Amino acid sequence: MNYATSLNLTDMQKTPDTRGVEIDQVGICDLAYPILVLDRENQRQGATAKISMSVSLPHHFKGTHMSRFLEVLASHQGEMTMRTLPAILHELKRRLDAETARIEVEFTYFLQRTAPVSKLKAPMDYLCTFVGESSGANDDFLLRVRVPVSTLCPCSKVISDYGAHNQRGYVTITVRTRTDAGGVWKLLWIEELVDIAERSASAPIYSLLKRTDERHVTMQAYDNPVFVEDIVRNVANILRDDERVAWFEVQAVNQESIHNHSAFAVVRARD
């Protein structure tokens, strides 16, 4: 006899709660989980993600069933794309009898980058996040990518007799794409957002550079000085011209090399 299945175990989560407070989000977070994401060059890329999954909880239920989050995730074998997240969210709502469901998937994405002069190749890492939410009949999906860049200060270049101070910066782009006639979100590649961020800054950042490459990127940055304000405006103009993009937010942060603080700027699309 299977002793576990012979027990009549009380479902405490379904017992009534009398405090009359609905919970907006309840679930699991900081879950390390292997996933597969779309890769423009290699079709699929494996990654280890940090996942948060939650649902709303009616006021009359005491709790939600935490194990079901993992059951739903396992049933999709870790594939995370704008095409699979709606199915995961819908199943969460169904399995947990919830009005809304939300999932956040943060992972490191690698691209093979080629140095500008030596042509040596090495991987670069980019922090990415998928945010999916389903409420009623509406689904939402956001893609966020953080891109390290090099920036050179236009003011420093103008006022200095020689040289100019430069620093590492980060450009974080969050986008919501439009849907096609079938209600599927239009695809915007992670690689495209990386390229947009790098073109909007003074120079890209590479993991592997030889002396000839270092000379090239140093002079490239000197020829393309930008403030954080310039970066966010550059990115915003590119995204506004992309018919796939319905909404965006772009943030630039410079880790200042001559100040004990960072500088930042943010532009959001007007809905």
pLDDT tens digit sequence for 158-216: 999 998 999 999 999 999 999 888 778 889 999 999 999 999 999 999 999 999 999 99
pLDDT bracket for residue 22 (50, 70, 90): confident
On the question of pLDDT at 270 being above 90, the answer is no
Per the prediction, the chain carries an average pLDDT of 91
Number of domains in the chain: 1
Determine, yes or no, domain membership for 258: yes
Determine, yes or no, domain membership for 162: yes
* Tens digit of each residue's pLDDT (9 = 90 or more) over 249-258: 999 999 988 8
Q: How far is CA 65 from CA 208, 215, 243, in A?
A: 47, 57, 41
Determine, yes or no, domain membership for 12: no
Rounded distance, CA 72 to CA 105, Å? 15
Element (H, E) at 180: none
Determine, yes or no, domain membership for 8: no
Rounded distance, CA 156 to CA 72, Å? 54
The CATH code of the domain that includes 99 is 3.10.270.10
* Tens digit of each residue's pLDDT (9 = 90 or more) over 208-261: 999 999 999 999 999 999 999 999 999 999 999 999 999 999 999 999 888 889
Determine, yes or no, domain membership for 135: yes
pLDDT bracket for residue 61 (50, 70, 90): confident
- Domain with 80, as residue range(s), is 17-268
Determine, yes or no, domain membership for 11: no
Determine, yes or no, domain membership for 234: yes
Convert 67-80 to b/e letters by CB count within 10 Å (16 or more is b): ebbeebbeeeebeb
Whole-prediction pTM: 0.90
90 class by beta-carbon count within 10 Å (0-12 exposed, 13-18 middle, 19+ buried): middle
Determine, yes or no, domain membership for 197: yes
- SS3 for 218-264 is HHHHHHCCCCHHHHHHHHHHHHHCCCCEEEEEEEEEECCCCCCCCEE
